[in-house]
């Protein structure tokens, strides 16, 4: 519920993060936001000062001699034409510069994050070359902008000096003809024109800063104005403690129009049931889980939890009732205890320890130098894969969710680690509706029913024993893993 006077919470759309690389987002937060600040400091205030000053100087000069003022300002149309032309040409250059900067940051971030692969394959030189190439592209683009600015600024300065030549020529003529006094007229007018020209010269710097700032502002507002697809409905249905029933009713979903990832999916899951999900890469397994948590909304059909359309439920309540364990669980540079309590920061140490015990993580945590207060390195790199997964399971269990989603938690681990994780999962699954994505038969055998997906369609559903007796993808995978197909060919 939103209290009176509070702004409703909005939830960033996952599509935005799907469509924008990490380097681009980092660059928008650091460089582009600074450009917006420069607009306020170096454009808004300076433009206001310049306009007021020009108005005062212009009025004073007109009061001295109208014709001389108009003659001295004859170059003004040329000045504005040159400024407009410069702005029109330099804007795309600044946009291209920001794109190249995004690429540079992305190259650096990927190299740092993938340093193990870089060194493991002895690709240091190639990655260095890639960074230097990206850096060179940024430098060359900046140089092209610099040359345009270098021609533009002196041109504006030259036009202001032409005004002085007109003043000396026409003004001197007026003095000779006694139409303008020398001291109170020409000399004073020359001082005013000098101040006026100094303000006009600022147009070059302001025009350049405007184009740079507008490019940054556009990229910042692309983030701020990104469509919020996942919202709490005004009359959201509260969900304090879900029973755990889940239903997909003719659900179709596509990341891009006309390219469905899931198509006409229908099934029902009873509270406390354990459901395995099997399918080849790209069959829509992870997407199916994402629809339960409303990371995305179904394009067609309905996803229900306890009989309620998830789009009608309070989003915070829904996600508090769902625990997530990803294939590669992310750990923050914080203590072990803080990582377990990430979704429930108010939890006490007793609750954290209980969650760790359920996830079979308590014992190895106590062996750490400072136990639950041990500070983890970036991404939890000082832990093994099995330890990281057990901490992720503990983090999910701490919420005491009614629904537990496990996205291939035993992928790419050795048999011993797999056994440890499965033991932790079995404890975590008690009294919870569980969905587990996996391709391992040892894991699927522990489930009540299995959903088999192929190219976004549900092609088989049943108990592991039933599917093993039926021809189809499930039995084919079992044959490959247990060698039945090979034995049958002998």
The per-residue pLDDT for range 114-125, each reduced to its tens digit, is: 777 787 778 888
Q: Which residue has the tokens 């989003």?
A: 315
- Whether residue 387 is predicted with pLDDT greater than 80 in this model: the reply is yes
Instruction: Using a pLDDT cut of 90, give the percent of the chain over it.
Output: 26
pLDDT (0 to 100) of residue 16: 67
Residue 481: pLDDT band with limits 50, 70, 90: confident
**Which superfamily does CATH assign the domain made up of 14-224 to?**
ABC transporter type 1, transmembrane domain (1.20.1560.10)
CA 68 – CA 168 distance, rounded (Å): 10
pLDDT (0 to 100) of residue 6: 43
Report CA-CA distances (Å) from 280 to 438, 440, 444, 458, 461. Answer: 10, 12, 15, 12, 15
Question: Under CATH, what is the fold of the domain 246-488?
Answer: Rossmann fold (3.40.50)
Report CA-CA distances (Å) from 165 to 73, 74, 152, 190, 218. Answer: 12, 12, 20, 11, 42
pTM for the full predicted model: 0.67
**When comparing pLDDT for 46 and 388, which is higher?**
388
Contact status, residue 347 vs residue 341, Cβ threshold 8 Å: yes
Contact status, residue 375 vs residue 335, Cβ threshold 8 Å: yes
- Domain ranges in the chain are 14-224, 246-488
- Whether residue 224 is predicted with pLDDT greater than 90 in this model: the reply is no
pLDDT, one tens digit per residue, over 6-62 is 444 444 456 666 666 666 677 777 777 777 777 776 677 777 877 888 888 888 888
- Whether residue 149 is predicted with pLDDT greater than 70 in this model: the reply is yes
Backbone angles phi, psi at 297, to 5 degrees: -105, 145
pLDDT, one tens digit per residue, over 260-316 is 999 999 999 999 999 999 998 889 998 999 999 998 899 899 999 999 999 999 988
């Amino acid at each position: 519920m939103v209290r009176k006077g509070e702004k409703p919470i909005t939830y960033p759309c996952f599509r935005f993060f799907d469509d924008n690389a990490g380097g681009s987002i980092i660059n928008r937060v650091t460089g582009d936001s600074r450009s917006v600040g420069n607009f306020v400091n170096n454009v808004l205030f300076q433009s206001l000062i310049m306009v007021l000053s020009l108005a005062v100087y212009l009025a004073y000069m007109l009061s001295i001699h109208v014709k001389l003022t108009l003659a001295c300002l004859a170059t003004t149309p040329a000045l504005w034409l040159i400024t407009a032309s410069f702005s029109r040409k330099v804007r795309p250059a600044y946009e291209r510069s920001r794109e190249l900067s995004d690429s540079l940051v992305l190259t650096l971030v990927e190299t740092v994050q993938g340093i193990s692969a870089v060194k493991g394959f002895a690709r240091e030189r190639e990655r260095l070359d890639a960074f230097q190439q990206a850096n060179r592209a940024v430098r060359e683009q900046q140089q092209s902008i610099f040359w345009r600015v270098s021609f533009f600024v002196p041109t504006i300065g030259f036009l202001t000096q032409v005004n002085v030549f007109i003043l000396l020529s026409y003004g001197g003529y007026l003095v000779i003809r006694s139409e303008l006094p020398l001291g109170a007229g020409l000399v004073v007018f020359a001082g005013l024109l000098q101040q006026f020209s100094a303000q006009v010269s600022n147009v070059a710097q302001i025009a350049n800063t405007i184009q740079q700032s507008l490019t940054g502002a556009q990229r910042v507002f692309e983030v701020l104005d990104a469509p919020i697809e996942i919202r709490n409905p005004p009359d959201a249905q509260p969900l304090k403690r879900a029973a755990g029933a889940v239903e997909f009713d003719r659900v179709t979903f596509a990341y891009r129009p006309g390219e469905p990832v899931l198509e006409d999916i229908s099934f029902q899951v009873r509270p406390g049931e354990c459901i395995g999900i099997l399918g080849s890469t790209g069959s829509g397994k992870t997407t199916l889980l994402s629809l339960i948590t409303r990371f995305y909304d179904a394009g067609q059909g309905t996803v229900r939890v306890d009989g309620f359309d998830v789009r009608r439920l309070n989003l915070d309540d829904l996600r508090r009732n769902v625990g997530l364990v990803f294939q590669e669980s992310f750990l923050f540079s914080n203590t072990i205890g803080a990582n377990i309590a990430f979704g429930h920061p108010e939890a006490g140490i007793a609750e954290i320890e209980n969650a760790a015990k359920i996830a079979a993580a308590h014992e190895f945590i106590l062996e750490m130098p400072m136990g639950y207060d041990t500070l983890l390195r970036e991404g939890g790199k000082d832990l093994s894969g099995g330890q990281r997964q057990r901490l992720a399971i503990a983090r999910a269990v701490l919420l005491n969710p009614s629904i537990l989603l496990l996205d291939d938690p035993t992928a790419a681990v050795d048999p011993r680690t797999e056994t440890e994780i499965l033991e932790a999962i079995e404890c975590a699954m008690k009294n919870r509706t569980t969905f587990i994505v996996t391709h391992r038969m040892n894991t699927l055998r522990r489930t009540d029913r299995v959903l088999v997906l192929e190219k976004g369609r549900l092609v088989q559903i049943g108990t592991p024993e039933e599917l093993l007796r039926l021809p189809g993808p499930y039995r084919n995978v079992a044959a490959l893993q247990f060698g039945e197909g090979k034995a049958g060919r002998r």
